[in-house]
């Protein structure tokens, strides 16, 4: 399930803007298809232009999203609705659903395979992808008052060495997995007993703001450069 609604405001037409030579959505569709994990790769959208891009990339879009398309709708609601539409349309019942956000274009087929394998081996009901914070240490986070005065969020960590602090992880929309009955019952991927599954920071880029787009391009370029180096 790739939820890709239209109407993005922070980056207009975010899901189909050019990202390294192809529509952003196409990167996720192609990774899903190349993984070989899925019976179907379905794009849920309310936008005909997004639907056409999805079809050209190889995804199925036999229907448009019937609801859960405004700025206030949670993505889990869109995926639940798409499941209902898909099961009614194809007259099947699905066991697992994997939600791949199209604004995470650097997650590849290998990452999807690894996440699905971890989900099945761990006999999990819910799994959410995450990554370890990189160069910015979240233990040193501050809020700022109007006059610029900092207020540390974790004052007890201020005197500790960074290597002595435990690793912290941030969720990313790259790969979320759930067993369908549990997902329907909880109404969210953050259901009872949900687990986090780490992935590399370069693959976890989650593009919501223009600066995120710049960073994702830098990460992609860096990954490509590393791939050419013989070690």
Other Cβ atoms within 10 Å of 109 Cβ, number: 15
Structure tokens at 17: 């803007």
Residue 66 has what pLDDT? 76
Domain ranges of the chain: 2-130+171-227, 134-167
**What stretches in the chain show pLDDT beneath 70?**
67-73, 227-231
Residue 182 has what pLDDT? 98
90, with CB counted inside 10 A (0-12, 13-18, 19+), is: middle
Residue 73 has what pLDDT? 60
102, 204 contact by CB (below 8 A): no
Gap between the Cα atoms of 94 and 23, Å rounded? 29
Residue 225 has what pLDDT? 80
Whose tokens are 């037409």? That residue is 13
Residue 228 has what pLDDT? 56
**Domain 2-130+171-227 CATH (choose: 3.90.550.10, 3.40.50.10090, 3.40.640.10, 3.90.1310.10):** 3.90.550.10
25, 50 contact by CB (below 8 A): yes
Query: In the chain, which ranges are continuous DSSP H helix?
Result: 24-35, 48-57, 75-90, 109-121, 180-186, 210-227
pTM to 2 decimal places: 0.90
Structure tokens at 171: 């969720």
Residue 160 has what pLDDT? 86
Structure tokens at 87: 């099961």
Other Cβ atoms within 10 Å of 17 Cβ, number: 14
What are the backbone dihedrals phi and psi of residue 136, each rounded to the nearest 5 degrees, phi first?
-95, 120
């Amino acid at each position: 399930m790739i939820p890709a609604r239209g109407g993005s405001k922070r980056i207009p037409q975010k899901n189909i803007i050019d990202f390294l030579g192809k529509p952003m959505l196409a990167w996720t569709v192609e990774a899903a298809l190349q993984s070989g994990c899925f019976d179907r790769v379905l794009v849920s959208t309310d936008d005909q232009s997004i639907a056409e891009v999805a079809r050209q990339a190889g995804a199925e879009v036999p229907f448009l999203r019937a609801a859960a398309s405004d700025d206030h709708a949670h993505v889990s609601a869109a995926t639940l609705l798409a499941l209902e539409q898909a099961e009614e349309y194809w007259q099947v019942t699905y066991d697992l659903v994997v939600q791949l956000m199209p604004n995470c274009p650097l997650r590849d087929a290998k990452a999807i395979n690894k996440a699905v394998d971890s989900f099945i081996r761990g006999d999990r009901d819910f799994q959410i992808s995450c990554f370890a914070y990189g160069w910015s240490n979240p233990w040193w986070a501050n809020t700022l008052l109007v006059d610029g005065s900092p207020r540390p969020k974790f004052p007890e960590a201020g005197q500790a060495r960074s290597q002595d602090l435990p690793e912290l992880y941030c969720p990313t929309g790259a790969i979320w997995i759930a067993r369908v009955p549990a997902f329907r019952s909880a109404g969210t991927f953050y259901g009872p007993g949900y687990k986090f599954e780490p992935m590399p920071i370069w693959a976890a880029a989650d593009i919501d703001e223009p600066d995120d787009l710049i960073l994702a391009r830098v990460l992609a370029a860096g990954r490509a450069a590393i791939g050419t180096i013989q070690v």
